[in-house]
């Protein structure tokens, strides 16, 4: 954790996030080229993602919200009241209140690397739940996080909705699940009872999946291409956006949707003064979104140190929400 007001993000003298520059340059040097999906979410990227959640073809947000709305009584019974809810990533406006309303927690601890998102979501939640202590922590939840002293005596529930775990390759996902165990204090006193409620999207017809990541209105395409705009603006890039097209393809061997930016002609460009080239048909791999079966989801959780307790799906069986215990 950091002290209040101290930014976690390290910046160059020109104000650019050092990790962003490093990830982009390293990713463009690779063959095939790949940039981590976390860099989509600048202000415009976050706005476009919100827009994606309302697109007809993009079902995950609606499906998960349906589960959270319908299963409140079951959450209450299995999780119980009085816990500290630790959300990995700042709460979205809709999902978190549904959970908090259902289980009557004793505290809410949103964790996020972005202080801005954190303050926004904490303020919104505090307003909706006037009696609930909210303790935002600015931290990188990929590592173990020390929770605020005030929640030390409380049993914990980790909350990780959205199938964000699906954006990680299995090795990284397992590392994260283990970090969550450590953050929630599993194996030490009160943490013995730690639980995790996690959203995981399901394997389905490839046409449905590909449409969800390549909607007819081009919102997801704009989201993907915004990464180029961000690189050109923040890293002094000359990538010709008009020569890159949005692709979303199901990789059946690895059970994931992959998003790419594919060159429609041979191009040369520079980023932060470094030169790069792409041949027509070469791509920059910008995102993986892994999809799970009941068994693959359970196996991933078990590998990360979590025992599945109960699983819910939406009525169309598109998305799963899984409760696990440490």
Positions in the binding site for ligand AVJ (CB under 6 A): 52, 60, 162-164, 166-167, 213, 220, 287, 289
Q: Give min distance, CB of 49 to ligand AVJ, in A.
A: 6
Q: Please choose, from the candidates 318, 39, 317, the residue with its C-alpha nearest in 3D space to the C-alpha of residue 167.
A: 39
Q: Which is nearer to ligand AVJ, 64 or 234 (CB)?
A: 64
Q: Give min distance, CB of 322 to ligand AVJ, in A.
A: 15
Q: Give min distance, CB of 278 to ligand AVJ, in A.
A: 22
For residue 269, the cross-strand partners are 276
Q: Residue with the closest Cβ to ligand AVJ?
A: 289
Q: Give min distance, CB of 78 to ligand AVJ, in A.
A: 24
User: For the chain, first and last CA: distance in Å?
Assistant: 23
Q: Which is nearer to ligand AVJ, 166 or 185 (CB)?
A: 166
Q: Give min distance, CB of 177 to ligand AVJ, in A.
A: 16
- Could you please report the per-residue DSSP string of 215-237? -TT-HHHHHHHHHHHHHHHHTT-
Q: Which is nearer to ligand AVJ, 7 or 316 (CB)?
A: 316
Q: Which is nearer to ligand AVJ, 120 or 152 (CB)?
A: 120
Alpha carbon distances (Å) from 236 to 18, 111, 240, 262: 14, 31, 13, 21
Q: What count of Cα atoms within 13 Å lies in the side-chain half-sphere of residue 38?
A: 15
Which positions ≥6 away from 182 have C-beta within 8 Å? 144
Q: Which is nearer to ligand AVJ, 83 or 230 (CB)?
A: 230
For residue 201, the cross-strand partners are 319
């Amino acid at each position: 954790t950091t002290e209040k007001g101290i930014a976690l993000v390290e910046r160059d003298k020109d104000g650019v996030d050092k990790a962003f520059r490093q990830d982009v340059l390293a990713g463009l040097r690779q063959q095939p080229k790949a940039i981590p999906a976390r860099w989509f979410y600048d202000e415009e990227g976050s706005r476009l993602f919100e827009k994606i959640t309302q697109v007809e073809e993009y079902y995950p947000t609606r499906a998960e919200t349906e589960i959270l709305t319908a299963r409140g009584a079951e959450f209450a019974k299995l999780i119980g009241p009085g816990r500290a809810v630790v959300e990995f990533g700042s709460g979205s406006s809709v999902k978190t209140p549904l959970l908090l309303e259902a289980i009557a927690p004793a505290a809410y601890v949103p964790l996020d690397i972005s202080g801005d998102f954190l303050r926004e979501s904490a303020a919104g939640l505090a307003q909706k739940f006037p009696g609930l202590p909210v303790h935002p922590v600015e931290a990188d939840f990929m590592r173990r996080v020390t929770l605020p002293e005030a929640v030390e005596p409380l049993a914990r529930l980790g909350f990780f909705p959205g199938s964000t775990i699906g954006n990680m390759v299995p090795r990284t996902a397992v590392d994260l699940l283990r970090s969550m165990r450590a953050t929630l204090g599993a194996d030490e006193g009160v943490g013995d009872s730690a639980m995790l409620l996690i959203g995981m999207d399901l394997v389905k017809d490839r046409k449905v999946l590909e449409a969800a990541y390549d909607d007819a209105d081009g919102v997801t395409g704009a989201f993907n291409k915004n990464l180029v705009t961000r690189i050109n603006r923040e890293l002094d890039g000359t990538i010709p956006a008009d020569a890159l097209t949005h692709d979303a393809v199901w990789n059946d061997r690895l059970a994931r949707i992959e998003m790419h930016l594919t060159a429609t002609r041979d191009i040369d460009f520079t980023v932060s003064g470094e030169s790069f080239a792409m041949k027509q048909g070469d791509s920059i791999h910008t995102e993986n979104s892994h999809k799970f079966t009941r068994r693959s989801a359970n196996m991933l959780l078990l590998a990360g140190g979590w025992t599945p307790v109960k699983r819910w799906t939406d009525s169309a069986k598109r998305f799963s929400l899984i409760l696990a215990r440490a």
